[in-house]
């Protein structure tokens, strides 16, 4: 086996994609918590008759959610670019990048949907 056809290179690319997904999900989770934390503080201090939510925590939280979604999307793009450049014998037999790319892209899209949801909920309150 030559160095260019080592399947470990492919598996390293998959681990890197998983790391980007993990990082993106963590950043999106942090963004959700930050966006909702302002509401929690107001409810704790003033009860159900609290003032309308401040937009600063919402904007910061939505920014984190979008950043996490972008991290996942860029991870997918880099993974697809790299795996397409590998020789065929460096990839596992019957392997298809479509599943990994589709599920990862769906996570990124759900991050964008979450950001829109947070913005809409902040303006409804």
Q: Where are the domains of the chain?
A: 30-124
Confirm whether pTM is higher than 0.85: no
Residue 88: pLDDT band (50, 70, 90) is confident
* Inter-CA distances, 104 with 45, 62, 82, 100, Å: 39, 20, 16, 6
Name the residue with higher pLDDT: 10 or 66: 66
For the stretch 13-71, pLDDT in tens is: 999 999 999 999 999 999 999 988 876 666 666 666 655 556 788 899 999 999 999 99
pLDDT score, position 45: 67
21 C-beta neighbours (distance < 10 Å), count:
21
């Amino acid at each position: 086996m030559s160095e260019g056809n080592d399947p470990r290179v492919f598996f390293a690319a998959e681990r890197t994609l998983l790391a980007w997904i993990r990082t993106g999900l963590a950043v999106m989770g942090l963004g959700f918590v930050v966006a909702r934390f302002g509401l929690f503080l107001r409810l704790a201090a003033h009860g159900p008759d609290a003032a309308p939510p401040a937009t600063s925590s919402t904007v910061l939280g939505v920014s984190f959610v979008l950043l996490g979604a972008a991290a996942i999307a860029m991870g997918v793009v880099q993974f697809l670019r790299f795996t397409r450049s590998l020789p065929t014998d460096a990839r596992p037999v019957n392997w298809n990048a479509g599943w990994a790319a589709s599920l990862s892209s769906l996570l990124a899209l759900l991050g964008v949907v979450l950001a829109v949801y947070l913005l809409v909920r902040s303006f409804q309150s």
